[in-house]
C-alpha cells in the first residue's frame, strides 16, 4: 500500500547522542528517530498499522475497530491514519470514557474516531469471540486490529524497520539495537530482518512475560528470528506507565541536553534504563555501539503534565 506512505516522512535520521557519561564509558549511542515519521502517526505505530490498513482495503472493509486505554498511542495513531485514508474508525476504550476526555481521546474523536467506553471486565474479554460477536452486531462489518496492533500484519510492518539502520553505507555498524516493548510486536518484527542483536526493555511488570509473548508470536506465525534477541523484564520502574521522580528529572535533563523529547511510558523508560545500566559499567561491553529506537508516542506526555 505504497500510496499510504505518502504522508509519512521517508527519511528517518539516525542521530548520535553526545554525553560525558557515554564518552567516559566508551559507549557510542545513536537514536533512530521514528518519532519524526509523522506528528501523530509516530513511532512504531505506523509500521504496525500499515499492513492492517492495506488488508482492510483489500477485504473491502470501510470501518476499522481497535482497542486501547485512555492514553493509547495506538488509537491516537489509528484515528488519524484512518482519517487520512478514508476509513471510519471505532476505538473501544478500556473503562468508561473520561469526562472530560483525555487529550488523547479528544484528538481521536476530532479525527473522526467513534469512541466506545467498555467496563474493565468487558475489556478483558476483548479477544473472545462472544465479545467480538456483540461488537459486530452493534457496529457491523469492521476490520479488527488487536490492541497495540499486535498481529501478523503488525509484525510484518515492523520487519521493515531494520532497513532504516542497516541498508546503507552512511551508517555505522551497530552492536545492539534497543527498544521499549509493550506487546513485543515491534521486537518480533525486527527479529525477522535485523542482522544486529536486539535488546527489548519490557515496560510492564511480569517476569519473562514479553519474552514468552515474542516466542509464542514467532511460533504462532511460524516465523524465525534472524538474530539473537533478549528482553530485560526488571526496568519497568514499578509497572506500566508508573513513573518515579528520578525518571521525570532524567527526561527533563535529557531534553535540555540533547533536544530530543522522550515520554515516560516507553522511550523515556528505555533511555533511563540504558543510562542507568551504562553508569553501572557491567551491562554493556566497552566500545559497544548501541542504536536506540525512539518509538514516538509523544502525545502521551500530556498525561503527565
Ligand X SMILES: *Cc1c(COP(=O)(O)O)cnc(C)c1O
In the complex, which residues of this chain contact ligand X (CB under 6 A)? 43-45, 73, 148, 180-186, 266-267, 295-297
User: Cα(280)–Cα(276) distance, rounded to whole angstroms?
Assistant: 6
Cβ nearer to ligand X, comparing 82 with 296: 296
Q: How far is the CB of 57 from ligand X (least distance, A)?
A: 22
Q: What would the DSSP string read from start to end of 39-87?
A: SSS-THHHHHHHHHHHHHHHTT--EEEEEE-TT-HHHHHHHHHHHHHT-
Q: How far is the CB of 62 from ligand X (least distance, A)?
A: 26
Give whole-number Cα distances, 35 to 5, 262, 274, 294, in Å. 15, 9, 19, 6
Q: How far is the CB of 248 from ligand X (least distance, A)?
A: 17
| Tally of CB atoms within 10 A around 62 | 13
Cβ nearer to ligand X, comparing 91 with 184: 184
Cβ nearer to ligand X, comparing 162 with 295: 295
Q: How far is the CB of 220 from ligand X (least distance, A)?
A: 15
Evaluated on CA atoms 178, 163, 241, 68, the torsion sign reads negative
Give whole-number Cα distances, 220 to 151, 155, 229, 291, in Å. 10, 12, 18, 29
Q: How far is the CB of 73 from ligand X (least distance, A)?
A: 4
Q: How far is the CB of 155 from ligand X (least distance, A)?
A: 9
Cβ nearer to ligand X, comparing 68 with 82: 68
Minimal CA–CA distance to 231: which of 164, 299, 180, 195? 180
Q: How far is the CB of 213 from ligand X (least distance, A)?
A: 9
Q: Residue 177 in 3-state DSSP?
A: strand
Cβ nearer to ligand X, comparing 139 with 226: 226
3-state SS, one letter per residue, for 178-227: EEEECCCHHHHHHHHHCCCCEEEEECCCCCCHHHHHHHHHHHHCCCCCCC
Q: How far is the CB of 282 from ligand X (least distance, A)?
A: 26
Cβ nearer to ligand X, comparing 45 with 50: 45
Cβ nearer to ligand X, comparing 37 with 65: 37
Label the pairing between strands 28-33 and 14-17: antiparallel
Cβ nearer to ligand X, comparing 139 with 248: 248
Under 8 Å between Cβ of 63 and 140: yes
Cα within 13 Å of Cα(65), Cβ side:
20
Amino acid at each position: 500500500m505504497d500510496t499510504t506512505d505518502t504522508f509519512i516522512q521517508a527519511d528517518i535520521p539516525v542521530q548520535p547522542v553526545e554525553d560525558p557519561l557515554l564518552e567516559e564509558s566508551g559507549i557510542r549511542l545513536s537514536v533512530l528517530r521514528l518519532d519524526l515519521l509523522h506528528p501523530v502517526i509516530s513511532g512504531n505505530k505506523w509500521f504496525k498499522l500499515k499492513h492492517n490498513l492495506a488488508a482492510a482495503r483489500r477485504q473491502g472493509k470501510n470501518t476499522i475497530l481497535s482497542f486501547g486505554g485512555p492514553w493509547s498511542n495506538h488509537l491516537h495513531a489509528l484515528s488519524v491514519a484512518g482519517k487520512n485514508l478514508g476509513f471510519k474508525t471505532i476505538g473501544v476504550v478500556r473503562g468508561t470514557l473520561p469526562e472530560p476526555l483525555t487529550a488523547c481521546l479528544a484528538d481521536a474523536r476530532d479525527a473522526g474516531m467513534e469512541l466506545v467506553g467498555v467496563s474493565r471486565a468487558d475489556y478483558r474479554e476483548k479477544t473472545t469471540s462472544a465479545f467480538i460477536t456483540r461488537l459486530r452486531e452493534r457496529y457491523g462489518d469492521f476490520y479488527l486490529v488487536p490492541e497495540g496492533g499486535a498481529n501478523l500484519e503488525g509484525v510484518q510492518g515492523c520487519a521493515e524497520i531494520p532497513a532504516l539502520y542497516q541498508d546503507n553505507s552512511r551508517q555505522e555498524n551497530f552492536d545492539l539495537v534497543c527498544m521499549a516493548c509493550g506487546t513485543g510486536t515491534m521486537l518480533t518484527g525486527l527479529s525477522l530482518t535485523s542482522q544486529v542483536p536486539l535488546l527489548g526493555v519490557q515496560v510492564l511488570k511480569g517476569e519473562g512475560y514479553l519474552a514468552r509473548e515474542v516466542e509464542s508470536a514467532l511460533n504462532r506465525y511460524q516465523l524465525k528470528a534472524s538474530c539473537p534477541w533478549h528482553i530485560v523484564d526488571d526496568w519497568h520502574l514499578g509497572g506500566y506507565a508508573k513513573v518515579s521522580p528520578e525518571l521525570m528529572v532524567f527526561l527533563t535533563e535529557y531534553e535540555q541536553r540533547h533536544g530530543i523529547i522522550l515520554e515516560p511510558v516507553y522511550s523515556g523508560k528505555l533511555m533511563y534504563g540504558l543510562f542507568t545500566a551504562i553508569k553501572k559499567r557491567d551491562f554493556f561491553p566497552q566500545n559497544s555501539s548501541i542504536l536506540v529506537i525512539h518509538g514516538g508516542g509523544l502525545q502521551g506526555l500530556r498525561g503527565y503534565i
